[in-house]
């Protein structure tokens, strides 16, 4: 997602919090609505173009996956049942090792080693 497709107010807020050359220790909550709760608000925000992670916003906006995303975010008990199952599924994906991938120390740049 880029600034042109993101909610204007949210994009402006993010640019203010994280300007170019900002301190890399700055943290932005994934969920601007309820940042200290573990709930479905992150997914509800996707419907309003306030997805911090491009991959999640793209999944929400894709016509094939949009219905499930909207339905899950509108039904708290369903979301609470499906979310742990999704995490288990994600954990079974192949982890990139060695030169195939890395955990970045600074999300703005690749590690320099």
Residue range 95-109, pLDDT digits in tens: 777 777 777 777 667
Quick one: three-class SS letters along the chain?
Answer: CCCCCCCHHHHHHHHHHCCCCCCCCCCCCCCCCCCCCCCCHHHHHHCCCCCCCHHHHHHHHCHHHHHHHHHHHHCHHHHHHHHHHHHHHHHCCCCCCHHHCCCCCECCECCCC
Confidence of residue 12 (pLDDT cuts 50, 70, 90): very high
Average pLDDT of the segment spanning 107-113: 71
pLDDT digits (tens, 9 = 90+) for 34-88: 999 988 888 889 889 999 888 888 888 887 777 777 777 777 888 788 888 888 8
Q: Residue 2 has what pLDDT?
A: 54
Confidence of residue 9 (pLDDT cuts 50, 70, 90): very high
Q: Which CATH architecture has domain 8-93?
A: Orthogonal Bundle (1.10)
Give the whole-angstrom CA distance, residue 4 versus residue 69.
22
């Amino acid at each position: 997602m880029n600034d042109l497709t993101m909610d204007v107010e949210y994009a402006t807020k993010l640019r203010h919090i994280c300007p170019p050359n900002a301190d890399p220790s700055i943290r932005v909550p994934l969920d601007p609505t309820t940042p200290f709760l573990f709930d479905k608000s992150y997914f509800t925000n996707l419907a309003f173009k306030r997805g911090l992670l491009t991959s999640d916003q793209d999944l929400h906006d894709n016509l094939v996956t949009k219905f499930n995303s909207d339905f899950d975010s509108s039904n708290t008990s369903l979301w609470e049942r499906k979310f742990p199952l999704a995490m288990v599924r994600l954990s079974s994906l192949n982890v990139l090792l060695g030169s195939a991938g890395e955990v970045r120390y600074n999300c703005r740049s690749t590690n320099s080693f």
